[in-house]
Amino acid sequence: MAALGGRRVTGHVSAVPSDARSDIDLARELEQFLYVEAALLEDRRWDEWLALWAEDARWSMPVRSERPGRESFSGADELHYFDEPKFGLVMRVAKLQTGKAWGEEPPSHTTRLITNVHVVDASDDTVTVRSNFVIHRSRRESDVEQFVGNRRDTLRCSDNGWLILRRDVFLNTRVLPAVNLEIFF
């Protein structure tokens, strides 16, 4: 695992060769972490996926707004599609595991493309990573949905590897392109 050593990463290519190799190694390690996480979701390996989340983790998806004179996404005290601690994820997974989650009967087939992964900021034990995603979901014969956007993940370095501390999901659309949000981003 690459050590962060208190360096601050600015998200741009550095002309300083001394840290270049460690920056590339860290970026590659984080990419692989996100790719493995996506595979766990696609394979419905829920318990292994939940193990990637820190106990004090939080995930959110603010609502996109196009109103003039305000931010593009809802603020902390405004409406979100979801804004939950890890316990919310645990409850969602438990519901899926019962086989009685109507929004996922029959279960969706998903493919996740995670791209443009880069480190935005790093400190002694956390790193913030920005990535783009496309999630293709299909159910039954004709239920097909696609989600496109970007994520900001704050990951914590632990003795067992990286853990997701925070995930903020930003969809590109203002209108949710789905009948439910029974999948994970």
Q: Are 148 and 175 in contact (CB under 8 A)?
A: no
The pairing of strands 126-139 and 143-158 is: antiparallel
Q: Using the CB atoms, write b or e for 36-71: b if 16+ within 10 Å.
A: ebbebbeeeebeebbebbbeebbbbbbebeeeeeee
The two tokens of residue 164 are 């997701």
- For the segment 142-172, what is each residue's pLDDT rounded down to a tens digit? 788 999 999 999 999 999 899 999 999 999 9
**Edge-to-edge order in the sheet of strand 143-158:** 80-85, 53-62, 161-171, 143-158, 126-139, 109-122
**Structure confidence at residue 48 (pLDDT):** 97
For the chain, which residues make up each domain, given as ranges? 20-65+79-171
Name the fold adopted by 20-65+79-171: Nuclear Transport Factor 2; Chain: A, (3.10.450)
Percentage of the chain with pLDDT > 90? 53
- Going by C-alpha positions, the residue among 63, 88, 86 that lies closest to residue 74 is 63
The two tokens of residue 9 are 């990463």
CA torsion angle 21 23 27 28 (round to 10): 10
Average pLDDT over residues 74-91: 85
**Structure confidence at residue 11 (pLDDT):** 46
- Asked if pLDDT for residue 15 goes beyond 50, the answer is no
Burial of 86 (0-12, 13-18, 19+ CB in 10 A): middle
